[in-house]
Structure 1
Amino acid sequence: MKKRTEKVTKEKGDSGAEDDAAKSADDYQCSGNLEMDFPELCALAGINEIPLLKLRQLTAAFPSTDSGAMEDSQTQISPGSPVTTWCPKPCIQAEMENDDSQSAKKIIISGWQVDEVMAEVLSKILPSLSNLQSLKMWQARLTDRILISLKNTISMCSHLRTVILEGNPIPEQSYHILIGEDSMITHLSLRNNCIGEEGACLIGSALSTVHSANKNLLTLNMAFNSIGDGGAIHIAQGLRLNRSLLCLSLANNHITDTGAVCLAEVIGPFALTHEEIVERRRQLMKRDQLPSQVDIADSKCERTLSIPSSSSLEQSSKGTKSASKKKDVPKKEEKTAALQTAATAGKKEVTKKDTKVPRGQGGKSEGKDKRLPGSEQEEKNSFVQKTGEVVEALSPLLDPGIRHIDGKVIQPGNTALVSLNLSGNKLTELSLQRFLASAVGQGEGGLLRLSLNRNCFPPDCETFLKIQEIMSLKDPLNKTSSCQVDDEQRQAA
């Protein structure tokens, strides 16, 4: 009986120690020092084999995205890939800006499994790295639960904008949670993740729907997946009302003309759907309510400004001379007229269809607003901020270039996208003709780079050569180099 009691007491003691260890890990306050915090957290979490921590100095200027994020690679990612360092043992690499252990800018996890315990450690330590800008996880065998944890961790990192998750197939294909409407990620690479049509559908909806759109993502790399034509159609759907994405790579995704034509159509003028037309009407009605609100606000300001100031009342009560009174009247009238002119100018600026910020937030009229009394200044500033948010967040459905043609509402197309990579797919000259028509229709704006190499058409295809010619004329790098050549020729002459 005595031995049994001792055994139970020992088990309770062991479990209590584990609870204390877990509690200590949860309560641990990270200092931002990676060398100190990481091993300490791993030990408190009960990790037996703590991954090595390798710190290295940044050898060049820190890039905004991974060097191979948007490249036109011809092979899939492999352990011998030059863009990733292979680690035979679990290891975390940190690129430091300087010798300071708190200056980590990039974290790299390569070639070993990140389980839920390690994900918890990362959720504690990554937000404490105030300079962290990039996170790369290659073949980390992520799961859906870990991806959700990772998404929450990223949202707590104040400066983390580049996320590279490559070689991490996830059954639920829930990568879209990383680019929700509130996501601050600007560069995302999802290469070689076995993303199919379902995953592409979710990503397309995250890019934009009729009622929402991602406004921060600039580059998206989905090369070496299997989205096919169905996935390409969903991505094209997401590009209809998205105006933030600049670079998109869909290289090596088994896309044929069916999917490519949809992508070509969305970068050129296209007809709005019934649902989009309904939403456009709703937004137009909401926008048309602004002028009446502006009139009310301006009239309040004008009525308040017509009240004499306390200094003028004191002067009149003291019985100043009539000559000085006559001099004050024109000054008051001039001041009132000037303020009325400023208010009218501000009203006209707010009601414009352009995305310009209404006057009052800055610019020439700011100095005039400073003349207003304190309460009136605060009231007008609050109103301008409210109206400014509406004007700045201009929806593509309110594009001033929208036209009514043959009973259809035609949108000018997505001209925000400047780089599209469709290399290594199954495109023929049929889809090339659609891309050519869209590129010509965009004029000087829109696409600056269209990669179509290694598809099902000959290199000397006439349509392909025309597209290359147009892109070369629009490419700003080519324009810069040609200008330099011209300058050198002038100097030599």
Structure 2
Amino acid sequence: MKKRAEKPSKVDKVDSAIEEEPKPKTADDYQCSGHLQLEFPELCKLMGVKEIPSVKVKRPRILESRMTKWSPGRCLQIELENEEHNNVKEVKISGWTVDELMLQVLSKILPSLSNLLCLRMWRIGLTDGTFTSMKNTVSLCSNLRKVVLEGNPLPEQSYHLLLGEDSMLTELSLRNNRIGEEGARLIGSALSNPHSANKNLRSLNLAYNRIGDAGALHIAQGLRLNRSLLSLSLSYNHIGDNGAARLAEVLGPFALTHEEIVERRKLLIKGDQSNMVQSSLVSLADSHEPALSVPSNSSLDQISKSAKHTTKKRDNPKKEEKPAQSPAAKKEEAKVAKKDNKAPRSQAGKGKDKNLLVSEQEGTSPSQAVEVTVDTVIPLLDPGIVHTGGKVIHPGNTCLTSLNLSGNELSEQSLKVFLSSLESQCEGGLLRLSLSKNRFPSDCDTFLKIQEMMSQKHPLSKNSTSQMEDEYGEAKTSSPA
């Protein structure tokens, strides 16, 4: 008789069911795909956030102007590109405290937003500790270029960490953060010092702080060797004539300090050494003679064998027979010969071509070879630097195009320094200089001359004499009446 098939027991079924059940997700295992509206609340639950902020899509500006600028309650305002949910280009957080737990959520979800360009944070209650976590999150966002951090005073004033040499930010707003002299010193050093400089930041807004004259000196020091910053706002910072004069002096010719001269000499020595290496490489590439070396025994044997072989060929009067060629092949051979004859003419005598030749021998690509020949301008090696009266005179910072000093304590005394510096700027230099609401009459001669000069350098400024408020309430015009 056949045995009946054994049926699986109920215990086995229960065990298999337990094995098939997926394990609950944890925050560490959670993988963000860039869909912030869906993934943000899920990640908050996994992280144990009790009060989960809502996510609201930013409305068009026409409709938003009729509403309050900042949504009440705990929420994240986002702006989408082309109305695609996984294409967030701006995130705005305002009016509620972002603690360490929430920063852990943001540190996981913000870097997943590959198209995130702008992050706005207004009065979010940052501390020195949470600011460090936020700075690390900003550095993880590959395409983030604009950060607005306003209304967040920090005891240690460590805002300069966002301006590190490796920072990729191009726009930074630090309005209303109670930044004083120490914070200005750190920011000025981050902008530039004799040994390093920020190379990416284009716009810096420091309005409505407490920088004062002492802080303005540090900012001016940072502008000496910075060649990336185009727009700087120092409005409403209690800056007087002393600080404003130092800012104006940087725009015109100034004498290098001892530390800057020492660093300049080091750069010149490095440049001479690199030029010597390049010239030696070029000479090796141009020379057709092989490098001298001591022959080994095996190489001598090979040389003797090759010599015997050549003597046998010379003794044999018969020429080597070549295979018969068709007329078409002969024409191709003639074309190749013509190209070979033309090649040396294009390579002769030019320094760039020699450098390209060396790079090809070293196995680099043509694009890399071009980069070798192009020299980047270093401020301490500016060709306009001159030696006069025992001093080394730098032509000044002509890269800064917009400077806002409205709402400070400037008198006509500092305006004269600005006028002198602006007259010395031959090429480039300031196109906008906002000096409204200071301690000088609007009809004083120096101010009128500055206005006329600005209108000649930037014709559009003639049509922008009225005060226009941007979305933060700060004037953008260059030469108001």
Which TM bucket (shorter chain)?
Answer: 0.7 to 0.9
Deviation at 1:142, TM superposition (A): 0.8
8 A Cα contact 2:352 2:373, kept in partner: no
Match of 2:111 in 1: 127
Gaps of 5+ in 2: 1-22, 291-318, 325-330, 465-481
1:189 corresponds to 2:191: no
Equivalent residue in structure 1 for 2:136, among 132, 152, 160:
152
Gap change, CA 1:138 and 1:31, over 3 Å in 2: same
8 A Cα contact 1:297 1:383, kept in partner: no
Equivalent residue in structure 2 for 1:51, among 38, 47, 53:
53
Instruction: Say which is worse superposed, 222-231 or 296-305, in terms of deviation.
Output: 296-305
Equivalent residue in structure 1 for 2:381, among 359, 381, 398:
398
Deviation at 1:99, TM superposition (A): 2.6
1:384 corresponds to 2:369: yes
Give the AA of the match of 2:258: H
Match of 1:168 in 2: 152
Aligned residues: 406
Equivalent-residue separation in structure 1 for 2:236 and 2:452 (angstroms): 24
Match of 1:430 in 2: 413
Equivalent residue in structure 2 for 1:452, among 435, 454, 457:
435
Q: Per-residue displacement from partner, 1:374-418 (whole Å, max 9, x unpaired)?
A: 9627258598367457x22x2101000001111110000000000
Equivalent-residue separation in structure 2 for 1:99 and 1:56 (angstroms): 10
Q: What are the residue-to-residue correspondences of 1:104-119 with 2, within 5 Å?
A: 104-119=88-103
Deviation at 1:334, TM superposition (A): 4.6
Gap change, CA 1:478 and 1:317, over 3 Å in 2: farther
8 A Cα contact 1:58 1:98, kept in partner: no
1:204 corresponds to 2:188: yes
Equivalent-residue separation in structure 2 for 1:202 and 1:194 (angstroms): 14
Deviation at 1:147, TM superposition (A): 1.3
SS at match of 1:404: strand
8 A Cα contact 2:454 2:461, kept in partner: no
Equivalent-residue separation in structure 2 for 1:317 and 1:256 (angstroms): 93
Equivalent-residue separation in structure 2 for 1:345 and 1:91 (angstroms): 57
Give the AA of the match of 1:398: L
TM-score relative to the length of structure 1 = 0.76
Match of 2:206 in 1: 222
Q: CA RMSD in A?
A: 3.2
Q: What are the residue-to-residue correspondences of 1:11-410 with 2, within 5 Å?
A: 24-56=26-58, 85-303=69-287, 334-342=342-350, 344-346=351-353, 360=356, 376=361, 378-379=363-364, 384=369, 387-388=372-373, 391-392=375-376, 394-410=377-393
Deviation at 1:145, TM superposition (A): 1.4
Equivalent-residue separation in structure 2 for 1:107 and 1:305 (angstroms): 64
TM-score relative to the length of structure 2 = 0.77
Equivalent-residue separation in structure 2 for 1:259 and 1:287 (angstroms): 36
8 A Cα contact 1:304 1:376, kept in partner: no
Equivalent-residue separation in structure 2 for 1:275 and 1:197 (angstroms): 22
Deviation at 1:339, TM superposition (A): 2.0
Instruction: Say which is worse superposed, 325-334 or 288-297, in terms of deviation.
Output: 325-334
Structure with max Cα Rg: 2
Q: Per-residue displacement from partner, 1:209-241 (whole Å, max 9, x unpaired)?
A: 000000000000000000111100000000000
Q: Per-residue displacement from partner, 1:133-178 (whole Å, max 9, x unpaired)?
A: 0000011111111111111111111111010001111111000000
Give the AA of the match of 1:402: I
Match of 2:9 in 1: none
Equivalent-residue separation in structure 1 for 2:455 and 2:229 (angstroms): 21
Equivalent-residue separation in structure 2 for 1:388 and 1:129 (angstroms): 37
Q: Per-residue displacement from partner, 1:279-337 (whole Å, max 9, x unpaired)?
A: 1111111112233222222233334799xxxxxxxxx976699xx99999997565334
Give the AA of the match of 1:285: I
SS at match of 2:406: coil
Deviation at 1:27, TM superposition (A): 2.1
Instruction: Say which is worse superposed, 329-338 or 51-60, in terms of deviation.
Output: 329-338
Give the AA of the match of 2:105: V
Equivalent-residue separation in structure 2 for 1:108 and 1:331 (angstroms): 62
Equivalent-residue separation in structure 2 for 1:331 and 1:296 (angstroms): 29
Identity of matched residues, %: 57
